[in-house]
Copies of this chain bind each other. A is one copy, B any other.
Amino acid sequence: MMSNAPSGPARAGHIAPDDERIARAALSRLMEPQDTAGLALVRLTGAVDALRIATGQLAAGPSLEQEMTALLLDGGSGSWPGLPASLKRWMPRVPDLAPERDLATLQRLGGRIIIPGDALWPVQLADLGLQEPLCLWWRGHELEFPPLRRTVALVGSRDSTGYGGAVAGEFAYGLGQRGYTVVSGGAYGIDAHAHRGALAGGSSDVPTIAVMAGGVDRYYPSGNEELLRAVANQGAVIAEVPPGSAPTRYRFLQRNRLIAAFAAVTVVVEARWRSGALNTAHHAEAIGRMVAAVPGSIHSANSAGCHRLLREGGAVCVTDVGEIAELAGGSGEELVGEKEASGSEHDGLTLEDLVLLDALPLRTITSVEKLGVVAGLGPEAVRAGLGRLGLLGLAVSERGGWKRARKNA
């Protein structure tokens, strides 16, 4: 499956060299997600040398530490305790390293590791800057990751209400039908409804992707095992942590940045005042992705987080699939157009004609003079207005007088 390929910019079918692949597999076990010191090290020395430094096989000179400091400050980190502190952090895990075993595990499960430089690497992850993951452990067919503008994240509470579940399902189904890929986190509640809806409605090669906080060798939570198996069969189940990693709270929070980075829009379907889904929304905002929130009853605690996002100004209010598609930059504008077109027959009337229409009796006929008194218009204005209303089918002339036209007559 793995072969040495020429270095250089990624192109179709290109895969990165084996030693780089194995080094990143090992580093992803050594370093927690978003270990910025580790990521800076990899960026400066490459994965192979970074692994040798991290495991103590290669000594780092003082200039490397200076470069790391500069890169970390550039990337927005404050002061950092220095490379020795990082080495001390990584050291306890060195004895557990077995990247070939991890790769073999994934291969046995029909999966693989994807690393930057692979043609299949999602280019949108570059927007994470220094926080771009080291690799992605990928369970499912070998599929191209959908482009940003065709990917929508649907996220929300685990303890969703009937309303939230229905909305997640109908949005995912509709997005699937339009060929969008729905990204979510594989959890109970909103996530599960989103994956299920996308599988049902999906018309693209990758209807849905589950981004896990723990290793993809195990389908977690177990109650979603069957669902996640279906997601892997039709789409993909992915993680930045290696097989066997537990889904800790810290990893959930870091995982959220991946969901946000994959998608053009992160839609928060239901969330409490404090919720992991808001964390995903903040990640999305931080890298300039659109955030949308679904409104709900003000009496539902499960919508309080959505309303908070709307109120604090970061999120766009979305109520149907067309609006989401519009935000993603794909199709969908037509739906909004339809809604606007269903207006009243009185749209576009001038205020003067509206006054005149109000003044016209429904049953009896009236004269131009009387209309002028009732409407507060001069006789010429009345006559001109009656002409316009007549053309619109809103007024009719009978026996020298005028009355309102009956609807549907």
Distance (whole angstroms) from the CB of A88 to the closest CB of chain B? 3
Contacts of A322-380 to chain B: CB distance below 8 A: 323, 339, 342-344, 346, 351, 354-355, 357-359, 369, 372-373, 375-380
Contacts of A247-306 to chain B: CB distance below 8 A: 248-250, 253, 273-274, 294-299, 303-304, 306
Chain B: CB-nearest residue to A347? B274
Please indicate the chain B residues that have their CB under 8 angstroms from the CB of A378 in the complex.
85, 87-89, 91-92
Q: Given A91-B378, A317-B295, A373-B92 in contact, is the A358-B311 Cβ separation under 8 Å?
A: no
Please indicate the chain B residues that have their CB under 8 angstroms from the CB of A339 in the complex.
273
Q: Does A10 contact B (CB under 8 A)?
A: no
Q: Given A248-B359, A250-B354, A307-B317 in contact, is the A376-B31 Cβ separation under 8 Å?
A: yes
Chain B: CB-nearest residue to A312? B317
Please indicate the chain B residues that have their CB under 8 angstroms from the CB of A358 in the complex.
248-250
Whether B250 lies near A298 (C-beta < 8 A) is: no
Whether B354 lies near A253 (C-beta < 8 A) is: yes
Chain B: CB-nearest residue to A368? B92
Whether A250 lies near B351 (C-beta < 8 A) is: yes
Contacts of A86-109 to chain B: CB distance below 8 A: 87-93, 96
Chain B: CB-nearest residue to A88? B378
Q: Given A294-B298, A355-B250, A381-B85 in contact, is the A310-B304 Cβ separation under 8 Å?
A: no
Complex: A320 Cα to B31 Cα, angstroms: 45
One of B295, B355, B380 near A295 (C-beta < 8 A): B295
Whether A93 lies near B376 (C-beta < 8 A) is: yes
Chain B: CB-nearest residue to A87? B378
Please indicate the chain B residues that have their CB under 8 angstroms from the CB of A205 in the complex.
none
Complex: A89 Cα to B96 Cα, angstroms: 92
Q: Does A167 contact B (CB under 8 A)?
A: yes
Chain B: CB-nearest residue to A247? B358
Distance (whole angstroms) from the CB of A27 to the closest CB of chain B? 12
Complex: A88 Cα to B369 Cα, angstroms: 11
Please indicate the chain B residues that have their CB under 8 angstroms from the CB of A87 in the complex.
378
Whether A311 lies near B316 (C-beta < 8 A) is: yes
Complex: A373 Cα to B85 Cα, angstroms: 14
Please indicate the chain B residues that have their CB under 8 angstroms from the CB of A343 in the complex.
274
One of B31, B354, B357, B373 near A93 (C-beta < 8 A): B373
Total count of chain A residues near the partner, CB < 8 A = 61
Whether A319 lies near B304 (C-beta < 8 A) is: yes
Complex: A392 Cα to B369 Cα, angstroms: 84
Some 18 contacts from A to B, beta carbons below 8 A apart, are A31-B376, A32-B375, A35-B376, A92-B369, A92-B373, A248-B359, A249-B358, A250-B351, A250-B355, A253-B354, A273-B339, A295-B298, A295-B307, A295-B310, A296-B296, A307-B317, A311-B317, A317-B317
Whether B380 lies near A88 (C-beta < 8 A) is: yes
Q: Does A219 contact B (CB under 8 A)?
A: no
Please indicate the chain B residues that have their CB under 8 angstroms from the CB of A220 in the complex.
none
Q: Given A250-B358, A311-B323 in contact, is the A376-B90 Cβ separation under 8 Å?
A: yes
Whether B297 lies near A163 (C-beta < 8 A) is: yes
Complex: A372 Cα to B94 Cα, angstroms: 12
Distance (whole angstroms) from the CB of A236 to the closest CB of chain B? 26
Complex: A168 Cα to B269 Cα, angstroms: 25
Complex: A298 Cα to B25 Cα, angstroms: 44
Complex: A304 Cα to B340 Cα, angstroms: 12
Complex: A372 Cα to B92 Cα, angstroms: 6
Please indicate the chain B residues that have their CB under 8 angstroms from the CB of A306 in the complex.
295
Q: Does A318 contact B (CB under 8 A)?
A: yes
Whether B319 lies near A274 (C-beta < 8 A) is: no
Complex: A318 Cα to B316 Cα, angstroms: 14
Chain B: CB-nearest residue to A81? B381
Complex: A379 Cα to B154 Cα, angstroms: 39
Chain B: CB-nearest residue to A94? B373
One of B34, B89, B310, B373 near A317 (C-beta < 8 A): B310
